[in-house]
Chain A
Amino acid sequence: MAERVNPYFLKELKKYGDVRIEECFNCGNCSAICPLSTEEDNFPRRMNRFAQLGLRDRLLASKELWLCYYCGECTKTCPRQADPGEYMASARRYAIASYDPTGLAKLLYTSPVLSVIFLLVLAVAIGLFFFQASAPMDLQTLRLFEFIPSALIHNAGIIAGVVIVLAALVGMVSMWRRTFQALGYPKGTRLDWWGAIWKAFGVEVLGQLRYRKDCESSAVNKPWYAQKWFIHASMLWGFLGLFVATALNYLLELLSVKATGTWVPLWYPIRLLGTVSGLFLLYGTSLALLRRFRKDDTSYEKSTFSDWTFLALMWLAGVTGFLLEIAVYLPPFAWSYWMLLAHLIVVGELLLLAPFSKFAHAVYRSIALYLWTLKPLPESEQASAPAAAD
């Protein structure tokens, strides 16, 4: 089936970032310099072609978009200043917007003005939702979860979680269907579904192996703790740690071991996990914001509004969380209660927008990495599969 050229596609893509890939003359320097690109998974060059010719479906079916960590080597090497690195980032934004059927992601990516309005309205809505259920502030003893009942937070969180997961699932299925089909395995090929899990999620997602090992060539002059992969890993680990801490905390409440809001010392394991994770998150987001502000890396030169809001929300979630933790060990003040509300608003925005914002890269990149590691089983095990012959 021939692919139809769409000359108007680039115009659409340009809304998602500083795309100038039409300047590319297909020399292939970008793919040659790329530490991750291979003969099989060729990017950026092959992706460039999809944009130049307007092959939207091929682009959206490319897991290669998500195999790139934007080290910026391609952009530095490009003889045409076609900025393939920024194009890849923009294409990922376009992909997030395209996998999302609601159109919200597109709005958040393409219109900073509407984004601001939307974020503010959502903040007010979340704030009002919790505030209308609040009890008077007790300034004798700090009773945060009487001010806003923990049950409400938990239930709202669970309902929001379900909505978020459903919304994310739609996008994930959309991406999975396109990208899996593009792998082109003949029907009946037996794949190593289990084997790919550890390599994709353990080694690559949690371990950040290729990001750490291959994509820091440009940052050799930076200490490990200031390198991009570590900044990224700090945020990832911090966020996951906090998520786990919160979940465990709720679990203990369900098991009636400890009610939410019970005072615990700083060394209490869950509190300790939360604190350390929070530090990671705050460290990562602060440094990311600073480096983006300073534009001290090729990939930081063209930050979009969506980059800033995502980092800012993560950073605010960390800051409000820590202030809340400090408040727990201090005598009660009115701001302690307000901080809880602020924290709920920020975290609420962050989570509710996850499928529609830069946050969504977490799932799409994971899927891409899984498909990248997913390989057919060895020949000996293929032979037993009856349909493999076709």
Chain B
Amino acid sequence: MPEEIVNTQAQNPKEDEPRIGVYVCNCGGNIGDVVKCEHVARTLERLPNVVVSRDNMFMCSDPGQKMIADDIKEKGVNRVVIGACSIFLHEQTFRRTLERAGLNPYLYYHIGLREQVSWVHHGTPKEATEKSIRMMAAGIAKARNMKPLEPVRLPAHRQALVIGGGVAGLRSALDLARRGLKVTLVEKSHYLGGHMAQWERVFPTNEEARPLLKRLIDQVLAEPNITIHTGAEVIGAKGYVGNYNVTIRQTPRGVRETFPNEQEAIDVCPIKRRKRFDFGLSTSKAIYRTYTGCVPESLVIDWETCTKCGECVKVAPEGMINLDEEAQEFTVDVGAVVLATGFQPYEPFYGEMGWKEFPEVITLPQLHRLLDDEGPTQGKFWWNGHPVKNVAIIHCVGSRQVEGVHRAQPDGNVNNYCSRVCCTASLSMASLIRQKAPDAKIYEVFEDIRAYGRGHEDYYTRASKNNVTFLRYFAEEIPEVRRADEKAEHPLLVKVRDHLTWGEEIEIPVDLVVLSVGMMPNPVQDLMEIFKVTPGSDRFLLEVHPKLRPVETAVNGVVLAGTAQGPMNIQESCAAASAAASKVSALIEQAKVELEPYVARVDPDKCQGSGECVKVCPQEEAIELKTFSENGNTFQRAVVTPANCNGCGVCVSACPNRAIDVQGWRLDEYEAMVSAIAADIPAWEGAA
């Protein structure tokens, strides 16, 4: 299918002879303070085919753009060479200028005078000007050889796949559906809501997490464009942007719907398991639900522990529970994929600040469950059957780790990033503890308080007004948790070198230690392989550019939402999710996608079918040999699938017949550029 839409060289009415417009931008003073732009423009003016050569204070401004457009219309300029900032900033701007003036937008070459000349050579203006002239002369040489191009256009499914049913996935799905796109939402667990459902209250509004989440889930459920699959995983995908065929595997729930005597079915179950929803603080049966009001509401069987004894089947209504259901596999066709695979709390190693060594050491997520009215203590701030009087919350556990000080993870890395959420979360939990136990002593043992968001600082203020005592440690010497004497009133001692007390060593007697653990990405190695997305050094999924393209991955059509990309709070997750949804809808809403035309193109007359290109191509299904018959002769020719080609050019160098070129970056263009850089250019005599 794709070869039909390989672009053909569009006919340009003014193509006959190159008439080049050269534009040198001062970028305020960014370029002009170093490079003598007028000198550059005047010098280049006299090169062959240059019709006009101008400099301007701000070429990207409306008057600057208008000047270019006027030259195109009035002076018949049909190639544009601009020396300005980086192409990442204004390439699109000038392409649109050309388009508005009726010129093919690819008849334009952009030279980064700011990043490549003035910013790096600000001490040597003379040489900087000389370098600018040469670089732009090369651009002019390329422009002479440029041909009009058309973007690669592909049909696209107006349907998106959202992987992950946490708050980011739900938000993304809802935004996409409201733009009229079909959405398939896949959630690995059997319930929607992700980690958010496990929290008691969430900052900065102090709202109860679950009612808040319920509002979002209800909207998602009411949306006819969204199809939800829980207990489902993506196990494979084929295709490319606009045209993915994704295979999903769904494990059965075991229980059809809610039924009246559910409690009876739970009671007869002989299996007790640690309840993951409570982070192991409580147990549940192998037939269970996470919390009252969860979605979907019906019970679920935990297949890992269920022995299929059938006791529950006997008490439940006929056909309600089926323990013999098989997992199902099915495929969906989607145009784009949102990865909202979320995070997992950092798991301390045995003995890290007393973790697992002492039962009085818990994590911040566990504290959420402990203070939850539906949690293991029905929300009382009790531990081991006693009210907690003294509690220490230790910050930055599993975050901002220092190599050589902190023990590395099994993969050899340390989490040197800040998990961002834990500071404010800890402070807000301190306030909650204060409500539940007005007399409790609360110690926050921190490195830095990073209450960065709107309203977060209030939590810090409130905590210290609430008599929370702060102690500050430095990463070089992490706090120590040890057992107090047997007769001591409080079972644990936290030892801190407190830099708020001039680096004194302080021991805090406590009943409970809470480790404010950071965020780790959920293990999604399989998805990374399926969609060819890459992680950063912190193991979270990586965006193209942290500032300019913050939710897109290097793979076109695969975008990131929420904590799969890095530590975020709910607010930021939702913002990222909405951004991801916008990107996806902009991409596939028109049922087609447009890609840059810089892809390999085979000249069928020169190609001898050697197959060298296919051997070296690093992309899958980007170039292949196809058999053709003509006049009774059967021969093979290389054929490019533009959607899968990333224009790397490896095939160009491998081809023994020089039959392949990358459009927009052809070898003859390169040769012209190299010659122009090396050529002598007579300087403008008007130079002072």
- In the bound complex, residues from chain B placing their C-beta under 8 Å from that of A22 are 467, 469
- State which of A2, A23, A80 has its C-beta within 8 Å of the C-beta of B506: A2
- Which chain A residues numbered 251 to 296 have a C-beta less than 8 Å away from chain B? none
- In the bound complex, residues from chain A placing their C-beta under 8 Å from that of B467 are 22-23
Please state if B441 and A7 are interface contacts (CB–CB under 8 Å).
yes
- In the bound complex, residues from chain B placing their C-beta under 8 Å from that of A49 are 498, 500-502
- In the bound complex, residues from chain A placing their C-beta under 8 Å from that of B538 are none
- In the bound complex, residues from chain B placing their C-beta under 8 Å from that of A5 are 443, 469, 506-509
Please state if B390 and A26 are interface contacts (CB–CB under 8 Å).
no
- Which chain B residues numbered 474 to 506 have a C-beta less than 8 Å away from chain A? 495, 498, 500-502, 504-506
Please state if A2 and B505 are interface contacts (CB–CB under 8 Å).
yes
Distance in angstroms between the alpha carbons of A3 and B497 in the assembled complex: 10
- State which of A3, A24, A42 has its C-beta within 8 Å of the C-beta of B504: A3
Q: Is B215 an interface residue (CB 8 A)?
A: no
Please state if B507 and A4 are interface contacts (CB–CB under 8 Å).
yes
- In the bound complex, residues from chain A placing their C-beta under 8 Å from that of B390 are 7
Please state if A4 and B509 are interface contacts (CB–CB under 8 Å).
yes
**Closest beta carbon of chain B to A183's beta carbon, Å:** 15
- State which of A23, A26, A55, A80 has its C-beta within 8 Å of the C-beta of B500: A26
B467 (CB) vs chain A CBs: closest residue? A22
Please state if A53 and B506 are interface contacts (CB–CB under 8 Å).
yes
Q: Is B465 an interface residue (CB 8 A)?
A: yes
Please state if B464 and A80 are interface contacts (CB–CB under 8 Å).
yes
Of listed A42, A46, A49, A55, residue having the most chain B CB within 10 A: A49
Distance in angstroms between the alpha carbons of A55 and B498 in the assembled complex: 13
- Which chain A residues numbered 26 to 69 have a C-beta less than 8 Å away from chain B? 26, 42, 46, 49-50, 52-53, 55, 58
Please state if A2 and B507 are interface contacts (CB–CB under 8 Å).
yes
Given known contacts A22-B467, A25-B464, A25-B470, A46 and B501 CB-to-CB distance under 8 angstroms: yes
Distance in angstroms between the alpha carbons of A23 and B461 in the assembled complex: 9
- In the bound complex, residues from chain A placing their C-beta under 8 Å from that of B505 are 1-3
Please state if B509 and A23 are interface contacts (CB–CB under 8 Å).
no
- State which of A2, A23, A42 has its C-beta within 8 Å of the C-beta of B464: A23
Distance in angstroms between the alpha carbons of A17 and B219 in the assembled complex: 57
- Chain B: interface residue total (CB-CB under 8 A): 20
**Closest beta carbon of chain B to A282's beta carbon, Å:** 45
Distance in angstroms between the alpha carbons of A193 and B443 in the assembled complex: 43
A22 (CB) vs chain B CBs: closest residue? B467
Please state if B507 and A3 are interface contacts (CB–CB under 8 Å).
yes
- In the bound complex, residues from chain B placing their C-beta under 8 Å from that of A3 are 504-507
Distance in angstroms between the alpha carbons of A2 and B504 in the assembled complex: 7
- In the bound complex, residues from chain B placing their C-beta under 8 Å from that of A24 are 464
Distance in angstroms between the alpha carbons of A387 and B464 in the assembled complex: 47
**Closest beta carbon of chain A to B565's beta carbon, Å:** 33
Distance in angstroms between the alpha carbons of A55 and B471 in the assembled complex: 13
Of listed A4, A23, A42, A55, residue having the most chain B CB within 10 A: A4
Please state if A26 and B469 are interface contacts (CB–CB under 8 Å).
no
**Closest beta carbon of chain A to B348's beta carbon, Å:** 23
Distance in angstroms between the alpha carbons of A25 and B464 in the assembled complex: 7
- In the bound complex, residues from chain A placing their C-beta under 8 Å from that of B501 are 46, 49-50, 53, 55
- State which of A4, A42, A53 has its C-beta within 8 Å of the C-beta of B469: A53
**Closest beta carbon of chain A to B484's beta carbon, Å:** 10
**Closest beta carbon of chain A to B611's beta carbon, Å:** 71
Given known contacts A3-B504, A4-B507, A26 and B495 CB-to-CB distance under 8 angstroms: no
Distance in angstroms between the alpha carbons of A135 and B278 in the assembled complex: 88
Distance in angstroms between the alpha carbons of A25 and B502 in the assembled complex: 15
Please state if B495 and A52 are interface contacts (CB–CB under 8 Å).
no
**Closest beta carbon of chain B to A311's beta carbon, Å:** 34
Distance in angstroms between the alpha carbons of A174 and B260 in the assembled complex: 75
Please state if A52 and B469 are interface contacts (CB–CB under 8 Å).
yes
B441 (CB) vs chain A CBs: closest residue? A7
B449 (CB) vs chain A CBs: closest residue? A25
- In the bound complex, residues from chain A placing their C-beta under 8 Å from that of B470 are 25-26
Distance in angstroms between the alpha carbons of A49 and B507 in the assembled complex: 14
Please state if A23 and B495 are interface contacts (CB–CB under 8 Å).
no
- In the bound complex, residues from chain A placing their C-beta under 8 Å from that of B508 are 5
A6 (CB) vs chain B CBs: closest residue? B509
**Closest beta carbon of chain A to B513's beta carbon, Å:** 14
- In the bound complex, residues from chain B placing their C-beta under 8 Å from that of A50 are 501
Distance in angstroms between the alpha carbons of A7 and B440 in the assembled complex: 10
**Closest beta carbon of chain B to A211's beta carbon, Å:** 26
- Which chain A residues numbered 144 to 173 have a C-beta less than 8 Å away from chain B? none
Please state if B502 and A46 are interface contacts (CB–CB under 8 Å).
yes
**Closest beta carbon of chain A to B57's beta carbon, Å:** 47
**Closest beta carbon of chain B to A256's beta carbon, Å:** 60
Chain A, 357-373, contact with B by CB distance < 8 Å: what is the 0/1 string? 00000000000000000
- In the bound complex, residues from chain A placing their C-beta under 8 Å from that of B506 are 2-5, 53, 55
Distance in angstroms between the alpha carbons of A46 and B470 in the assembled complex: 14
B471 (CB) vs chain A CBs: closest residue? A53
B465 (CB) vs chain A CBs: closest residue? A23
B484 (CB) vs chain A CBs: closest residue? A4
**Closest beta carbon of chain B to A373's beta carbon, Å:** 22
- Which chain B residues numbered 501 to 531 have a C-beta less than 8 Å away from chain A? 501-502, 504-509
A8 (CB) vs chain B CBs: closest residue? B441
**Closest beta carbon of chain A to B490's beta carbon, Å:** 9
- Which chain B residues numbered 404 to 459 have a C-beta less than 8 Å away from chain A? 441, 443
- In the bound complex, residues from chain B placing their C-beta under 8 Å from that of A7 are 390, 441, 469
- In the bound complex, residues from chain B placing their C-beta under 8 Å from that of A42 are 502
- In the bound complex, residues from chain A placing their C-beta under 8 Å from that of B504 are 3, 55, 58
- In the bound complex, residues from chain B placing their C-beta under 8 Å from that of A1 are 505
**Closest beta carbon of chain B to A58's beta carbon, Å:** 8
Distance in angstroms between the alpha carbons of A5 and B469 in the assembled complex: 11
**Closest beta carbon of chain A to B6's beta carbon, Å:** 66
**Closest beta carbon of chain B to A64's beta carbon, Å:** 12
- In the bound complex, residues from chain A placing their C-beta under 8 Å from that of B465 are 23, 80
Chain A, 295-316, contact with B by CB distance < 8 Å: what is the 0/1 string? 0000000000000000000000
Chain B, 104-127, contact with A by CB distance < 8 Å: what is the 0/1 string? 000000000000000000000000
Distance in angstroms between the alpha carbons of A372 and B467 in the assembled complex: 33
**Closest beta carbon of chain B to A139's beta carbon, Å:** 66
A46 (CB) vs chain B CBs: closest residue? B502
- In the bound complex, residues from chain B placing their C-beta under 8 Å from that of A2 are 495, 505-507
Distance in angstroms between the alpha carbons of A386 and B505 in the assembled complex: 32
**Closest beta carbon of chain A to B92's beta carbon, Å:** 48
Distance in angstroms between the alpha carbons of A42 and B502 in the assembled complex: 10
- In the bound complex, residues from chain A placing their C-beta under 8 Å from that of B495 are 2
Distance in angstroms between the alpha carbons of A42 and B503 in the assembled complex: 14
Distance in angstroms between the alpha carbons of A26 and B443 in the assembled complex: 14
**Closest beta carbon of chain A to B481's beta carbon, Å:** 13
Distance in angstroms between the alpha carbons of A52 and B441 in the assembled complex: 11
**Closest beta carbon of chain A to B389's beta carbon, Å:** 8
**Closest beta carbon of chain B to A10's beta carbon, Å:** 8
Distance in angstroms between the alpha carbons of A2 and B482 in the assembled complex: 13
- In the bound complex, residues from chain B placing their C-beta under 8 Å from that of A26 are 470, 500
- Which chain A residues numbered 83 to 134 have a C-beta less than 8 Å away from chain B? none
Chain A, 65-83, contact with B by CB distance < 8 Å: what is the 0/1 string? 0000000000000001000
Distance in angstroms between the alpha carbons of A4 and B500 in the assembled complex: 15
A10 (CB) vs chain B CBs: closest residue? B467
B501 (CB) vs chain A CBs: closest residue? A49
- In the bound complex, residues from chain A placing their C-beta under 8 Å from that of B471 are 53
Q: A5-B469, A7-B390, A55-B501 are in contact. List 15 more A-B contacts (CB 8 A).
A: A1-B505, A2-B505, A2-B506, A3-B506, A3-B507, A4-B506, A5-B443, A7-B441, A22-B467, A23-B465, A24-B464, A25-B464, A49-B498, A49-B501, A53-B498
Would you mind naming 20 contact pairs between A and B with Cβ atoms under 8 Å apart? Answer: A2-B505, A2-B506, A3-B504, A4-B509, A5-B506, A5-B507, A7-B390, A22-B467, A23-B465, A23-B467, A24-B464, A25-B464, A46-B502, A49-B500, A49-B501, A53-B471, A53-B501, A55-B504, A55-B506, A80-B465
Which residues of B pack against A, CB within 8 Å? Answer: 390, 441, 443, 464-465, 467, 469-471, 495, 498, 500-502, 504-509
8 smallest A-B Cβ distances: which pairs? A2-B505, A7-B441, A49-B501, A5-B508, A2-B507, A25-B464, A22-B467, A4-B507
